[in-house]
Amino acid sequence: SARRGSAPGKGARARDLLFLRRFLRIQAVLFPKWPSPNVLMFLTLLCVALLEQLVIYQVGVIPSQYYEVLGNKDFSGFKTLTAIALTLIVVNSTLKSFDQFICNRMYVSWRKSLTEYLHSCYFQGQVYYSLHVLREDIDNPDQRISQDVERFCRQLSSMASKLIISPFTLAYYTYQCFHSTGWLGPVSIFGYFVIGTVVNKVLMSPIVSKLVQQEKLEGDFRFKHMQIRVNAEPAAFYRAGRVEHMRTDRRLQSLLQSQRELIGKELWLYIGINTFDYLGSILSYVVIAIPIFSGMYGDLSPTELSALVSKNAFVSIYLISCFSQLIDLSTTVTDVAGYTHRIGELQETLLSLGRKKKANYSEAKDSWDLDNHAGEDPMPGNTAFLLERVTLSVPSSGKLLIKDLSLRISQGSSVMIVGNTGTGKTSLLRVLGGLWESTQGSVEMLTCFGPHGVVFLPQRPFFTDGSLRDQVSQGPAARAGWYDVLSPGEMQRLSFARLFYLQPRYAVLDEATSALTEEVEHELYRVCLQLGMTLVSVGHRASLEKFHSWILKLHGEGRWELTRCEKMKQLPAGEEC
């Protein structure tokens, strides 16, 4: 029973440590080095916040000074005090505005730093492919990068000023409170804060996990709508509206149910926060009353006592207010904790996938130098791929596709890969491109990817957002819509226009002419050979064999055979496959 009782505590400590580890890892991204713009902005905010607190203290004791000048009917002192008060108010308003301005700038800078860092991990080495296709444990990576990062940075910046200034204000006003009320005042206030913190910690714990679940469901609901938008035409042909309506509503109901549960849990947190806010206002007067009823100020006149009570009230109330503000941040801290776990989990996965890809796949320098695409290959050589005793299985099911395949793909020796559906033709190209890992053996890409190197053409071409020229050169973005404008055959023609523009030495074609006629296919392959390209093709038409010097036939269950293609009329002497 003791072991059962300790398990929840250990689980909570483990979650707290995990949150702390992930939060600090994110902070290392936001504040990478000294001096960086984010560090300088943070220090500027600290200086502005400290100066603001000094002015706030001067403004806070002005009412007690008004009691004195009004009680003594000092008109000259009243005018001077009013002028000082107006000046301090203007200065305080200016400092507070600068405080908010710097926090907003920090939000933008933090979002830039964290998003660009995640982008660098996400797009490096086709990690995004593994994350979306091969991994199912990380839900909605796009939402985590585009939305969760934004909300995390906004929430963190909204409480940054209060957090960085809290140690200074608490220390200063604790001293002032001790000086005014003795040790009982600060001890009472600190005890109040400790109790409030413990209660809020208990109320916050279930909210964090529920918030993470809600964000997942939000992403699933958004993804469902995106799926319908992208596949609107085939869905309409299938008359899938009724079924998709039902499935989309089902995801909506799950999301709304999670939101209702989250609101219910937040209710108790709000009750705790509001209760401690009102208790704090009463506690401040109790702290002030202690020295008065104990006779400490019995020798003061009513005017002097009123001024002293006003000053002490400001000190006590402001100290309690500092603690109350920290307690009020509970909801914000809860949000930050939820987003920290989602972003931190994504960061850990991206780094893990990046390290794994570097360890399992050797690739020449990845270079798309479009401005100098006519230059020489930075890694000259006559071999593109080298496979040694490669065994390949489907990552999700473990189904064996290819066993002990050794292959050297060299310049001038084109290879055609054939076989029935499901025997591993496209899977082999995924291994060549570094998208999948081989179960056993090694795969090396010995020629750089890009112009005058290796270019892959998938069956369904990829077009970025941009003009027609951009689609050929894969240059900067301008506008979108090519998937809606072009037919499948036109898209495959456009992908070959890109291929002819880049003029690689090796072209890997995965049924890249499946939507074209045999006559057009023949002409495109003829131009490829005319431009000196070595082809690695997946295709079903026997007419393609004459453009290749070797046929790799996959039989499934690991079996394969490599044969010389007799239909290839002219082969460069001395080349091998």
CB 553 within 8 A of CB 419: yes
- Look at residues 302, 336, 358 and tell me which one is the last residue of a structural domain: 358
Tell me: do 242 and 376 sit in the same domain: no
Assign 3-class secondary structure to 308-366.
Answer: HHHHHHHHHHHHHHHHHHHHHCHHHHHHHHHHHHHHHHHHHHHHHHHHHHHHHCEECCC
Provide the pLDDT for residue 473.
61
With the C-alpha atoms ordered 292, 294, 296, 299, is the resulting torsion angle positive or negative? positive
Question: What does the block give as tokens for 285?
Answer: 């007067």
- On whether residue 171 sits in a domain, the answer given is yes
CB 349 within 8 A of CB 138: yes
Tell me: do 93 and 201 sit in the same domain: yes
DSSP state of 415: E
Beta-ladder partners of 181: none
Question: What pTM, to 2 d.p., does this model score?
Answer: 0.72
- On whether residue 502 sits in a domain, the answer given is yes
Provide the pLDDT for residue 256.
92
With the C-alpha atoms ordered 546, 548, 550, 554, is the resulting torsion angle positive or negative? negative
Tell me: do 254 and 368 sit in the same domain: no
- Look at residues 358, 387, 406 and tell me which one is the last residue of a structural domain: 358
**CATH number assigned to the domain comprising residue 241:** 1.20.1560.10
CB 277 within 8 A of CB 328: yes
CA distances from residue 116 to 122, 422, 502 in whole angstroms, order as listed:
10, 38, 28
Beta-ladder partners of 363: 445
User: What gap in Å lies between CA 144 and CA 121, rounded to an integer?
Assistant: 13
Tell me: do 372 and 341 sit in the same domain: no
Tell me: do 87 and 31 sit in the same domain: yes
Tell me: do 339 and 426 sit in the same domain: no
Question: What does the block give as tokens for 516?
Answer: 């074209």
Provide the pLDDT for residue 156.
93
Tell me: do 330 and 384 sit in the same domain: no
Tell me: do 471 and 351 sit in the same domain: no
- Look at residues 315, 334, 358 and tell me which one is the last residue of a structural domain: 358
3-state secondary structure at position 506? strand
User: What gap in Å lies between CA 537 and CA 265, rounded to an integer?
Assistant: 58
For every residue of 119-164, DSSP letters joined together read HHHHHGGGHHHIIIII--SS--HHHIIIIIHHHHHHHHHHHHHHHH
Q: Write down the residue that tokens 């490829």 correspond to.
A: 528
One-letter identity of residue 14: A
Question: What does the block give as tokens for 21?
Answer: 């580890």
Tell me: do 344 and 371 sit in the same domain: no
- On whether residue 8 sits in a domain, the answer given is no
- On whether residue 242 sits in a domain, the answer given is yes
**Which domain range does residue 315 map to?**
22-358
What's the alpha-carbon Rg for the chain, to the nearest Å? 34
Structurally, how many domains does the chain consist of? 2
Sheet containing 362-363: order of strands? 362-363, 440-445, 383-393, 400-410
**Alpha carbons within 13 A on the beta-carbon side of 61:** 11
User: Which of 205, 214, 272 lies closest to 16 in space, CA to CA?
Assistant: 205
CB 522 within 8 A of CB 543: yes
3-state secondary structure at position 277? helix
Provide the pLDDT for residue 376.
41
Provide the pLDDT for residue 420.
92
- On whether residue 9 sits in a domain, the answer given is no
- On whether residue 7 sits in a domain, the answer given is no
For every residue of 247-266, DSSP letters joined together read HHHHHHHHHHHHHHHHHHHH
Provide the pLDDT for residue 195.
83
Tell me: do 331 and 367 sit in the same domain: no
Angle between helix axes 330-360 and 149-181 (nearest 10 degrees) is: 140
Tell me: do 168 and 226 sit in the same domain: yes
User: Which of 439, 431, 393, 395 lies closest to 510 in space, CA to CA?
Assistant: 431
Backbone phi and psi for residue 349, each to the nearest 5 degrees, phi listed first: -70, -45
- On whether residue 482 sits in a domain, the answer given is yes
Q: What is the mean pLDDT of each run of 10 residues along the chain (577 residues)?
A: 48 81 94 87 91 85 79 84 90 91 93 94 84 83 91 91 83 77 76 80 81 87 85 76 89 91 86 76 72 70 72 74 75 86 92 75 44 39 87 88 92 92 91 87 86 86 68 53 75 90 92 91 94 92 90 93 73 39
Tell me: do 370 and 334 sit in the same domain: no
CB 510 within 8 A of CB 456: yes
Q: What is the dihedral of CA 175, 176, 181, 185, to 10 degrees?
A: -60
Provide the pLDDT for residue 484.
67
**Alpha carbons within 13 A on the beta-carbon side of 114:** 31
**CATH number assigned to the domain comprising residue 388:** 3.40.50.300
Provide the pLDDT for residue 378.
39
- On whether residue 440 sits in a domain, the answer given is yes
Residue 43 Cα to chain centre, angstroms: 26
Residue 323 Cα to chain centre, angstroms: 32
